[in-house]
Amino acid sequence: NAGVTQTPKFRVLKTGQSMTLLCAQDMNHEYMYWYRQDPGMGLRLIHYSVGEGTTAKGEVPDGYNVSRLKKQNFLLGLESAAPSQTSVYFCASNLQVRGQPQHFGDGTRLSIL
Amino acid sequence: TQLLEQSPQFLSIQEGENLTVYCNSSSVFSSLQWYRQEPGEGPVLLVTVVTGGEVKKLKRLTFQFGDARKDSSLHITAAQPGDTGLYLCAGLQGAQKLVFGQGTRLTINP
Tens digit of pLDDT for each residue in B68-98? 999 999 999 999 999 999 999 999 987 778 9
Chain A environment of B90 (Cβ under 8 Å): 43
Q: Please tell me the distance from the alpha carbon of residue B12 to that of residue B27, in angstroms, as a whole number.
A: 29
Give the pLDDT score at B97.
86
Instruction: Name which residue leads in pLDDT, B1 or B38.
Output: B38
Q: Residue B65 pLDDT more than 90?
A: yes
Chain A environment of B97 (Cβ under 8 Å): 45, 48, 58
Q: Where does chain A have alpha helices with state H?
A: none
- Residue B29 falls in which region: left (phi positive, over 0), alpha (psi -120 to 50) or beta: beta
Give the pLDDT score at A1.
60
Q: Mean of the pLDDT values across residues A100-106?
A: 93
User: What average pLDDT does chain A have?
Assistant: 94
Q: Maximum CA pair distance of chain A?
A: 40
Is B84 an 8 Å CB contact of chain A?
A: no
Percent helix / strand / coil, chain B, rounded to 5: 5, 55, 45
Q: What is the pLDDT of residues A50-66, one digit of tens each?
A: 999 999 999 999 999 99
Instruction: Name which residue leads in pLDDT, B62 or A39.
Output: B62
Give the pLDDT score at B2.
57
Q: Do A101 and B45 touch (CB under 8 A)?
A: yes
Q: Please tell me the distance from the alpha carbon of residue A75 to that of residue A87, in angstroms, as a whole number.
A: 16
Q: Looking at this protein, which amino acid is placed at residue B58?
A: L
Q: Residue B1 pLDDT more than 70?
A: no
